[in-house]
Structure 1
Amino acid sequence: MDFRSDTVTKPSKKMKKFMFKAPLGDDVYKEDPSVNKLEKTMKKMAKKEAALFVSSGTLSNLLALLSHCKRGDEYICGQDAHIYKYEAGGGAVVGSIQPQPIEFEENATLDINKIKEKIKPDDAHFAKTKLLCLENTHHGQSLSLDYIKEVSAFAKENKLLLHLDGARIFNALIEEDLQLDEICEHFDSISICLSKGLGTPAGSILLGSKKFIKKAIKYRKMLGGGMRQAGILAAAGIYALKYNMQGLEKDHLKASLLSKELNKLKDIEVLSHHTNMIFIKVKNEDLLKKYLKENDILVGGSYNKLRLVCHRDISQEDIDKTIEVFKAF
């Protein structure tokens, strides 16, 4: 029972069979019918001009930075945002793009007044602030449509481009009861991961204008991300969008039950629970993790803040057993 992340999900037998039968071609020549179908499906769902299938969310975010910004430009993001903290500093290393992180608010938003304070004046001393990046969900928390609209208007007013790291955007859609295009219309680019809650083995989609995606295609090739018969992976995305979306709501319900039961236990503090993620604080973290592992349960996190992520490969029986193991500890 692996609660470390929803990235540990494995393709089902039906998904693998669908992948094996996928029609293939050379995607660098834009001749892979399965990749083309996935990109067409996603841009239609998001109501964006163009879409690009890439190997990972990290690559998708990096392509967005490179395509929006020039060397010496700056992007603003959250201090604990994936694009800044967990992607090896790609924007700075590869693109010479300066990050300007600010602390997230408790509700996973970036305070607009704090963003405004960090926008650099047009002066020879400063990098040019070019891009603002949001994350949805962040630590499981979804952004409200009202906030997204407010930030979008602010970005336009201050001549900033707006990128969304929407790695878990489908979880946000369920939480906020929205359609994909209702969020995507407010962003210049969106990165969407298919290998988390939807259960594909790999792959992300980058969305934006035709001009933007044309740039991203060049940078994808430059970085070695141009895949040939990539349709075998894209087919997993096509299958997931058709058959695995409904499972996300079940993941939220499983997480809600687990959070409720853990909160009843002595010496466990549930710090937060949103969508499919739970963060807890315990006194004997190392002992607990060891005990859980001995009982075939893996959890993530450290420093008195453990993370449990529910996903399609965690069954209701697994939830029940996990609760009992926590109680026994």
Structure 2
Amino acid sequence: MWEDLEVTLEKIENEKKKEKPSAEELGFGIHFTDHMFMMEWNRESGWHDAKICPYQDFRMDPAALVFHYGQAIFEGLKAYRGKDGQVYMFRPEDNFERMNSSAVRMCMPRLPVDKVLKSIKALLYLEKDWIPVAEGASLYIRPTMIAVEPRLGVRAADTYYFYIILSPVGAYYPEGFNPTKIYVSDEHARAAKGGVGQAKTAGNYAASLFTTQRAKKEGYTQVLWLDACEHKYIEEVGTSNIFFVIGDELVTPPLGGSILEGITRDSVLKLAEMWGVNTMERPISIDEVIQASRDGSLKEAFGTGTAAVISPVGEFYYKGETFSVNNGETGELSEKLYCELQAIQKGETEDPFQWVERVG
């Protein structure tokens, strides 16, 4: 069925095109481009009715299974405009392979990755004027799959929508590349081993909202989650994986089924190893981090993710105390990784791992 998948194109009328935001108005996830990609799946026909079409609303039945039992997965990746005027994507195939892993875990159909990549390149070429040129800005790409069969009863759906929308974005955090303040939760958990924590599914993010709201009321940008069993071992930040530089070691929690297998996380590990940095994927407790902050061996901490790329951490709040990281300043390795990844993503430097794909 995948081999026969054809994509139709329906362009928006010129007079209905949206006004593009200025660099100052970008924000994150506020504006959306004129076109989107969409296709449908059912058990009889597989993937079909693939199209690039004007950005539009859906008509869905109130009994659609996504509303009741949470079959919804998504990805996040970016397109960049290089100084040479070319458009680049960073590791897109890895994003869609990860989406297929999420689909398997959530009993949803797998995507034909090669067909989707061709379609997304066509969509980006059509919308290339939406890619912002401001420093640190990019075009955010949000592929999503949802269960749309109208039926009550707990089971996997027989029909799905898959769609891709595009959003021109600036910095994810208000702080930009300046260090963020992180709230450590020892009461609530994001995910447990054996659950769906490693899938990029909507429910994982819904589970984080209550504690994230509390953190923001206290003046903190994000939540650092601990393990669900002992509330002792560090897992990830709400929107990113987490790294620590303790002594001469770069440490990040291991993948164990309850945290997302981040594309940027993997990129950081590969770059750091290539540079000769002593990297370790090992369990790390919040007590170890606090002690390292107290004795001065905690040199840096930073989050990694598509949205922010590298997000330095300047302070942790845990059990009523604040713990500073590098005097609240961006660390040397954090800055080097951010600059290198940005340069690779925009085609401005050597790409030793062939991560970047140029959009024709």
TMscore range, shorter length: under 0.3
Question: Higher strand share goes to which structure?
Answer: 2
Q: TM-score, normalised by structure 2?
A: 0.23
TM-score by length of 1: 0.24
